[in-house]
Structure 1
């Protein structure tokens, strides 16, 4: 009899282990899916969302898609199978992500997008993004001032599949192109990558030794460009980034990179979780699907107040 009980207990244990993937999360869990945390911006998003979720009484499933739409789709499958209540997403492509968000919606799981939009409306509940155009204009105005309204410059573009890359570049050029003495002599993507930006900047500098400035689509590429410029003994080149990272803050305070544009990653992610909570409890956020958050210029006058993509008073 005792042996039978032991065998029955073992069989039950095996059964629970077999179905565990579908029971892997607590009843009230929010999935947080972002690009790689190697980029401090995306880590700040995940940290901000997780902190707010915990504050509101939720468990979290924190996942990384590495800007791979196929991997993102698989992560959505996992989150849906696990029965999460909501998904907070910084997506892996404006077009490629629509089907994943729709898949979650069809399963009764609402998605709340941050940082990057998708090319469809009515699929996600919220799309909360930084006002990239407004922020890019702020950065461009500072760049023009630092350049003295003239000289050769280069532009580092973000990932082509990310709508933010195009919006920021457009915002830059709508300001800079008004100054005929500013000449863009090189423009190339570095895919938001510091390593790629280093290599691209080396090539740009070799081909255009008279470059006076570099305007970058994000801070990670700005840091790569600055490292290449330092290595070449060209610390005279003006570099302006976009994001508001601690790394660029430190560079600004040390007299390196001259400016960046803060987009509030941490608070944006927290806002998404707050809206998810409101939606889950009441069926509506009470807000429009598309929401813009204004950006703030960061230079040597306020860089000391910047910490983890937030500006203190």
Structure 2
């Protein structure tokens, strides 16, 4: 990935204020999404990280939220959640973002700015290993650094990570797809994020989906090494064929091109896994052009556009994650530590704080728990 992209965009949020968009929906989500978080695992606190001592009640607590970009709806929702939590916690919040998912240099600059400003902590969705040294320097300077959504590599570069269990997200949509087939042969198109680049969210969702289908994944941390044909055991079980593993870049046009490539290889595809909802919408464009309206399409994200696509029948089911809760819990954790509390510890049995994931489906199937579209809309971002 490039490390020479332009600098970040940065803005300040005044304590006691919230974002100007999505506030009503975010407030509604706050109470309902909390149930999903608590169902996934309780936030345990334990001493780690450090500050120079507890902040006095009237001390300013500075927190920086550094996202991959400031345009993706996922990160827009994350910023709104952070602004809400900052208002509640009396935190002085700085918002920064890279210019693309590959903008490591811009994120490094934002981390350095947070240290220079004397912030108590940083919340970051890291764009790659080029940010690691800046994170380590910030921690050495006494800041609590928490990753949101994207664990760094290695994971212990940060004090803790608040994230979706992406393997579980994949399993949920795999279980749904297998149940929908009801014993029919599965002819599967795998529409991934990238090709040869090792990104954890990519292989976790991919391998989780196959595991949910009941397909042996061989090495569960390596996508594409499973047997191309065999039997799946999910639902009523049956035979499967994996037609393709195509990269989409997580984009609509990428999903369309990937689906076109897969259909050229085998026009009988009847199950499509997509790494996110944008690529799913693109895949549906290719399927519609081919006259195929009998394909089960599943995805991950759970944004409001994605839930709307489920309602419209473009996506059959999606695994909904909760970026607002990631940000809210992260801001609260930094504020708590600055006031003499303790730093966050991972959810029991996991290497991160699990912020929850739930299936949203347009058509329910026996044996698979799912939210309906109305419930998914209440929680979407």
Aligned to 2:68: 35
Of 361, 366, 373, which aligns to 1:303?
Answer: 373
* Aligned equivalents of 1:50, 1:138: Cα separation in 2: 31
- The answer to whether structure 1 residue 146 and structure 2 residue 216 are counterparts is no
How far 1:286 moved relative to its partner? 5.3
Whose helix proportion is higher, 1 or 2?
A: 1
1:218-260 CA deviation, whole Å, 9 max, x = no partner?
Answer: 2222222223323443232221001111112111112221000
Moved over 6 A (4+): none
Q: Secondary structure at the match of 2:249?
A: coil
**Who wins on radius of gyration, i.e. which is larger?**
1
Give the conservation status (yes or no) of the 8 Å contact 1:260–1:297: yes
Q: Is the CA contact (8 Å cut-off) linking 2:13 and 2:95 kept in structure 1?
A: no
Q: What is the aligned-residue RMSD (CA, Å)?
A: 2.4
Q: Give 2:91's aligned residue.
A: 58
The equivalent of 1:83 in structure 2 is 118
TM-score, normalised by the number of residues in structure 2: 0.69
Alignment length, in residue pairs? Answer: 287
Report Cα offsets for 1:3-49 as digits up to 9, x if no partner.
xxxxxxxxxxxxxxxxxxxxx89853321111224321222112111
For 1:49 and 1:227, locate their aligned partners in 2 and report how far apart those are by CA, in whole Å.
Answer: 35
**Conserved in 2, the CA contact under 8 Å of 1:157 and 1:189?**
yes
Aligned partners of 2:325, 2:344: CA distance in 1, in Å?
A: 19
- Alignment partner for residue 100 of structure 1, among 117, 134, 137? 134
Q: 1:169 is matched with which residue: 172, 193, 206?
A: 206
User: How much has 1:310 moved relative to structure 2?
Assistant: 4.5
Alignment of 1:229-248 (within 5 A): 229-248=287-306
TM-superposed deviation, 1:308: 7.3
Contact kept? 1:130, 1:293, Cα under 8 Å:
yes
Measured in 1, the distance between the counterparts of 2:156 and 2:273 equals 35
Shift of 1:122: 4.5
**Alignment match, 1:211:** 269
Cα offset, 1:283, TM superposition: 5.0
Query: For structure 1, which segment, 235-244 or 175-184, has the greater mean C-alpha deviation from structure 2 after superposition?
Result: 175-184
2:253 to 182, 195, 198: 195
Cα pair distance change 1:132/1:304, threshold 3 Å = same
Does structure 2 retain, via aligned residues, the 8 Å contact 1:193–1:220? yes
Structure 2 unmatched runs, 5+: 1-11, 15-59, 216-230, 233-237, 365-371
2:353 to 273, 283, 291: 291
Q: TM-score, normalised by structure 1?
A: 0.83
Q: Does 1:129 align with 2:163?
A: yes
